[in-house]
Amino acid sequence: MARITASVYTSHVPAIGVAMDLHKTQEDYWQPLFAGYDFSKQWMKDNKPDVIFLVYNDHATAFSLDMIPTFAIGTAAEYKPADEGWGARPVPVVKGHPALASHIAQSVIQQDFDLTIVNKMDVDHGLTVPLSLMCGELDPVKDAWPCPVIPFAVNVVQYPVPSGQRCFALGQAIRKAVESFDEDINVHIWGTGGMSHQLQGARAGLINREWDNNWLDLMINDPVACAKVPHIDYVREAGSEGIELVMWLIARGAMADVNNGERSGPLPQVTHRFYHVPASNTAVGHAILENKE
């Protein structure tokens, strides 16, 4: 059967993509941030998955106000990098995994989560920046991402957005879905976006280092309690866009120690953890958790 062996968590700031695309990663401003991913890039090479299930939010790119799905799963064979107004990022086209994605869609909908099925969309920095951080700079023509990716978009743009509790439960449903897929493949689930940031108004630039790190402790060690953190706490403490963190709970809920809404069994191994301020307007958080055998 297919299995989820690890989860990866990372912010997905657009400026990080720009810094990589313009080869500025060794500049004073960016070097400390990218140093936090040196370990991760090597880990990706040593622990290459067969498929990445990548939870992210679309930033008004594939979904305008014409359609606002709360949860959308990509079942296409490929996804092109989007033109977000600056032109498309020069990174490889993202290859999908239609067979596993369709299987997960069927299973998760039968577990009472209403997913929108997407057969055609472009993917924005929310998806491509995490891939770049974990895989390094790649040539858009000569290179390829290391494996197929299933994009899973969560609406955190127009309120109401899904609760942490619902995201946590969804992660459990996704793990069940993956484990009912007959091929013997290794899947990583990534929760992306988040850590404190506010991009708007007089409060723009808000960073709450203490809250971020306490939240990360809770997410790792007591995800059941973390899932109960209400929306308003994210907004008040971590800024209006700090709400993206609920997406990390989808990945956390898919780990082996979470069953039927409770923790049982050993905590996952914390393979890597990193925090940095700032990247453009935000704090950057990053962690790699692995299921123990």
SS3 61: coil
Minimum distance of another protein from residue 186's CB (angstroms): 34
DSSP string, 111-150: TT--PEEESS--B-HHHHHHHHHHH----TTT---SS-EE
Q: Which residues pair with 272 in a beta bridge?
A: 288
SS3 235: helix
CB environment 238-274: b (16+ within 10 A), e (fewer): bbbbbbbbbbbbbbbbbbbbbeeeeeeeebbeeebbb
Q: Binding mask 147-176 vs another protein (x if CB under 8 A, - otherwise)?
A: ----------xxxx----------------
Q: Give the CB-side neighbour count of residue 52, counting CA atoms within 13 A.
A: 26
Among 185, 173, 60, which residue's Cα sits nearest to residue 125?
60
Q: Say whether residue 38 binds another protein (CB under 8 A).
A: no
Q: Say whether residue 35 binds another protein (CB under 8 A).
A: no
Spatial distance between the Cα atoms of 269 and 6, rounded to a whole number of angstroms: 9
197 noted as active-site residue? yes
Q: Binding mask 207-226 vs another protein (x if CB under 8 A, - otherwise)?
A: xxx-x---------------
Q: Binding mask 172-201 vs another protein (x if CB under 8 A, - otherwise)?
A: ------------------------x-xxxx
Catalytic residue among 125, 188, 276, 286: 125
Choose the stretch contacting another protein; rule: CB under 8 A; options: 12-20, 100-108, 246-254, 263-271.
12-20
The pair of three-digit structure tokens given for residue 108, joined into one six-digit string: 């998760």
Minimum distance of another protein from residue 142's CB (angstroms): 25
Minimum distance of another protein from residue 279's CB (angstroms): 9
Spatial distance between the Cα atoms of 229 and 220, rounded to a whole number of angstroms: 14
Catalytic residue among 97, 103, 188, 197: 197
Contacts of another protein in 236-265 (CB under 8 A): 236-237, 240
Q: Say whether residue 112 binds another protein (CB under 8 A).
A: no
Question: What does DSSP assign to residue 91?
Answer: S
Nearer to another protein, 15 or 254 (CB): 15
Spatial distance between the Cα atoms of 185 and 190, rounded to a whole number of angstroms: 16
Nearer to another protein, 23 or 142 (CB): 23
Question: What does DSSP assign to residue 180?
Answer: T
Among 214, 215, 271, 283, which residue's Cα sits nearest to residue 246?
215
Q: Whats the size of the chain, residue-wise?
A: 293
Q: Say whether residue 23 binds another protein (CB under 8 A).
A: no
Q: Say whether residue 232 binds another protein (CB under 8 A).
A: yes
The pair of three-digit structure tokens given for residue 224, joined into one six-digit string: 């059941």
Interface pick for another protein out of 23, 114, 202, 264 (rule CB under 8 A): 202
Give catalytic residues, as residue numbers.
125, 197
By the criterion CB under 8 A, which residues form the site for another protein?
Answer: 13-15, 18, 59-61, 64-66, 82-87, 157-160, 196, 198-209, 211, 231-232, 235-237, 240, 277-278, 280-281, 283
